[in-house]
Every structure is written in structure tokens, then in C-alpha cells.
Amino acid sequence: MKKINSIVDRVLFRLGLLEAVRRQMAVEIWPKVAGKRIAARTKPLKINDGVLIVSVPEAALRNELTLRRMQLVKIYHQLGYDCVRDIKFVR
């Protein structure tokens, strides 16, 4: 399977799509990074210049996640998503 992923990555790179696909995948794996409980109460929106924008309607949760944001970024990096350099939580 790793060989197929490598081939797909090379094709996407040659087409200039690799970074866009990686950013979209980073948005989609938010539940794996944040956990199901938090993911159920939040919505990842997009990545702008390495900053993942996540909608969090509840102020208390927004504050909690802001304090934990670098821990969440570290999880992204451990999963191979270095395209996420920071996370911003918005209403």
C-alpha cells in the first residue's frame, strides 16, 4: 500500500495538486486529531497559509482549544500533516 501512496503522491506533485490535496485531507482528519467528542462540537473549515480555521460556536470550548492548539498541531505533524502550522478557532 505504501508503494501506491508514493506513486499517487508523485502524480499529484507533478500535476501541482499535492499540497491542495494534503490540505484538504488535513481538514478531513480533524476528528482523528481532536477526538470524536470535540469534533462533534466543532467544524474545520479550511487551511489558509498553514493555519487551520475551525468553527467553534461555544466560547468555553473555543478558549479550551485555543490553549491546546499547539498540542493539536503536534498531532497533525505526527500524522504527517506538516501543512498545519497553527490552528485558529473562530465563532
Q: Which three cell numbers stand for residue 88?
A: 485558529
Domain count for the chain:
1
Whether 40 is in a domain gets the answer: yes
Whether 84 is in a domain gets the answer: yes
pLDDT lower than 50: segments of the chain: none
Q: Which structural domain, as residue segments, surrounds residue 84?
A: 23-90
Whether 13 is in a domain gets the answer: no
Whether 12 is in a domain gets the answer: no
CATH number at residue 62: 3.30.300.180
Q: What is the pLDDT of residue 8?
A: 79
pLDDT tens digits, residue range 15-28?
777 888 889 999 99
**Average predicted confidence (pLDDT) for the chain:** 92
pTM recorded for the entire structure:
0.86
Whether 50 is in a domain gets the answer: yes
Q: What is the pLDDT of residue 40?
A: 98
